[in-house]
């Protein structure tokens, strides 16, 4: 074997190694792009929607206009920064309704005013770990009707925060806070289980 033949074999081997490296890189990039495209097909996007009319009603909903279901891993309701304990039993109002209730020392007077000022109604849903919000759906979290109750809830809602941590079917996770001014949910590496 001469020196020229050895160099040619070395060049061919290096070129083959270079081409296989480029092919492996292209394959890895293609896999990355396909995963991104697939994750977009199961992407949930939670938003809070409030609607109100002074003296008539107040409603707080969670909406999923995304194209995939939102798997709820944790839900935390706070009032003035302190967690609201989850109620136990079917007769106790859900935690969100409990968070907007007045302090105990004025509760009896408020109950009397509610009945004096006409019909008042409150419906609330507690969202917990394990719930799923399907794509394109909306869940009513809180609705109040009646002048006194509506005005009280509108005044108290600024003291209440609801933080949801949710994931897509592929395990990508986000948090969304009611009191956060950011439009987009915040991406997180994982959700704590509660």
In this structure, are residues 99 and 126 in contact, taking their beta carbons and an 8 Å threshold?
no
Residue 37, helix vs strand vs coil: helix
Q: How many CA atoms lie within 13 A of 99 on its CB side?
A: 26
In the block, tokens 């969202």 appear at: 127
**Distances, alpha carbon 53 to alpha carbons 50, 59, 147, in Å:** 10, 9, 10
Short-list 79, 99, 72, 83, CA closest to 166: 72
Q: List the chain pLDDT tens, one digit each, 194 residues.
A: 567 666 888 888 888 899 898 888 888 888 877 777 666 677 899 999 988 887 788 999 999 999 899 999 998 888 888 888 765 544 445 667 777 765 544 545 555 555 555 567 888 887 888 899 999 999 998 888 888 888 888 888 888 898 999 999 888 999 999 988 887 899 999 998 64
In the block, tokens 């909903």 appear at: 61
pTM of this prediction exceeds 0.85 = no
């Amino acid at each position: 074997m001469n020196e020229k033949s050895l160099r040619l074999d070395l060049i061919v081997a290096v070129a083959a190694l270079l081409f296989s490296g480029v092919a492996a890189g292209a394959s890895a990039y293609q896999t990355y792009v396909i995963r991104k495209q697939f994750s977009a097909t199961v992407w949930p996007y939670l938003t809070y929607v409030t609607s109100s009319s002074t003296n008539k009603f107040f409603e707080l909903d969670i909406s999923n206009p995304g194209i995939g279901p939102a798997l709820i891993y944790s839900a935390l309701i706070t009032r003035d920064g302190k967690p609201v304990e989850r109620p136990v039993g079917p007769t106790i109002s859900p935690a969100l309704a409990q968070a907007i209730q007045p302090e105990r020392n004025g509760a009896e007077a408020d109950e009397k005013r509610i009945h004096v000022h006409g019909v008042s109604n409150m419906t609330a849903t507690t969202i917990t770990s394990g719930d799923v919000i399907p794509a394109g759906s909306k869940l009513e979290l809180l609705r109040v009707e009646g002048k006194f109750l509506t005005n009280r809830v509108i005044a108290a809602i600024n003291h209440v925060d609801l933080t949801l941590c949710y994931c897509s079917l592929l395990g990508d996770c986000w948090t969304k806070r009611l009191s956060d001014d950011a439009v987009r949910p915040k991406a997180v590496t994982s959700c704590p289980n509660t």
